[in-house]
């Protein structure tokens, strides 16, 4: 079992980020060196191919960095092929009903939990010699399924969704959820706080983890204090922009101060 899934089962906090642009597998080494426990590869809004995903996963496996992928839709060919490419698990966006959740589990898990076709590549099992039964059981146990909660209807159905066997976590997509609730971008609005708390409480009742993906560190810590354990901070590009912008600002301020000092009598 990968360490992120084990930690979530034990109620421990794990930290990750979202990869949105960088396809060089070296990005995994950077995120591992920074101390993250996992990364999400965004295959919903970005341009990652299965080959790029597989290349990043290979590096992640050598670093004990869990690599999960946000697929575009809860479709069998997207779910099964992404897992066959080596991903440790999936985040599926815009999930709103328990029927869709059951379809996700069916596509992601081998029998008896699901109906995924058997054909794991070497990247999934590290080329270990295993019986068919042992492979199915090991992969089922290792695979993480995260539901992304982004709509008002999902909040209304949250207990029925996270109670489906095979679901490991529910993660808030705050921008889309705020839009659905009629308060676009107001992540601290009372309607948002109430809705997100419903997810945290439902996950606690049904033994699943809860989490959120957000760039605001204070809000991330706010929800961690309230029981969230799957904490996803910012993105690869956003962190580079923040660091670069801060560095340039400090340099220009320093150069301005030097110029002013040189002009003093």
Q: Which domains does the chain show, CATH number per domain?
A: 3-236 (3.20.20.60)
> Would you call 77 a catalytic residue per the annotation?
no
Distance, first Cα to last Cα, the chain: 69
> What is the per-residue pLDDT for 259?
72
> What is the per-residue pLDDT for 265?
58
> What is the per-residue pLDDT for 75?
97
> What is the per-residue pLDDT for 57?
96
Q: Where are the beta strands (DSSP E) in the chain?
A: 14-19, 38-42, 66-70, 89-92, 144-149, 169-172, 209-214, 230-235
Q: Is the dihedral of CA 134, 71, 164, 144 positive or negative?
A: positive
- Catalytic-labelled residue, pool 45, 88, 187, 206: 45
> What is the per-residue pLDDT for 125?
83
Tens of pLDDT, residues 182-229: 999 999 999 999 999 999 999 999 999 999 999 999 999 999 999 999
Cis peptide before 112 (omega within 30 of 0): yes
> What is the per-residue pLDDT for 121?
85
Phi first, then psi: what are they for 41, rounded to 5°?
Answer: -95, 125
> What is the per-residue pLDDT for 143?
96
> Which residues does the chain have with pLDDT short of 70?
264-265
């Amino acid at each position: 079992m990968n360490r992120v899934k084990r930690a979530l089962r034990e109620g421990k906090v794990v930290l990750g980020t979202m990869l949105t642009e960088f396809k060089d597998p070296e990005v995994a080494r950077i995120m591992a060196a920074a101390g993250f426990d996992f990364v999400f590869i965004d295959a919903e809004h970005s341009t990652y191919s299965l080959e790029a995903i597989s290349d990043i996963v290979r590096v992640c496996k050598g670093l004990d960095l869990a690599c999960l992928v946000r697929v575009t839709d809860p479709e069998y060919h997207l779910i099964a092929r992404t897992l066959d490419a080596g991903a440790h698990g999936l985040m599926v966006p815009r999930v709103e009903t328990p029927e869709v959740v059951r379809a996700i589990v069916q596509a992601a898990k081998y029998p008896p939990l699901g109906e995924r076709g058997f054909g794991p590549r070497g990247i999934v099992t590290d080329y270990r010699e295993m019986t068919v039964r042992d492979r199915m059981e090991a992969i089922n146990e290792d695979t993480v399924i995260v539901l992304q909660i982004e709509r008002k209807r999902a909040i209304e159905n949250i207990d029925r969704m996270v109670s489906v066997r095979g679901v490991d976590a529910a993660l808030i997509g705050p921008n889309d959820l705020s839009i659905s609730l009629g308060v676009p971008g107001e992540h601290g609005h009372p309607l948002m706080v109430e809705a997100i708390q419903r997810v945290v409480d439902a996950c606690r009742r049904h033994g699943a983890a809860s989490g959120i993906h957000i760039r605001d560190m204070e809000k991330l810590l706010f929800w961690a204090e309230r029981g969230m354990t799957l904490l996803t901070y910012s993105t690869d590009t956003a962190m580079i922009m923040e660091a670069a912008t801060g560095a340039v600002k400090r340099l220009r301020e320093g150069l301005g101060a030097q110029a002013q000092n040189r002009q003093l009598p």
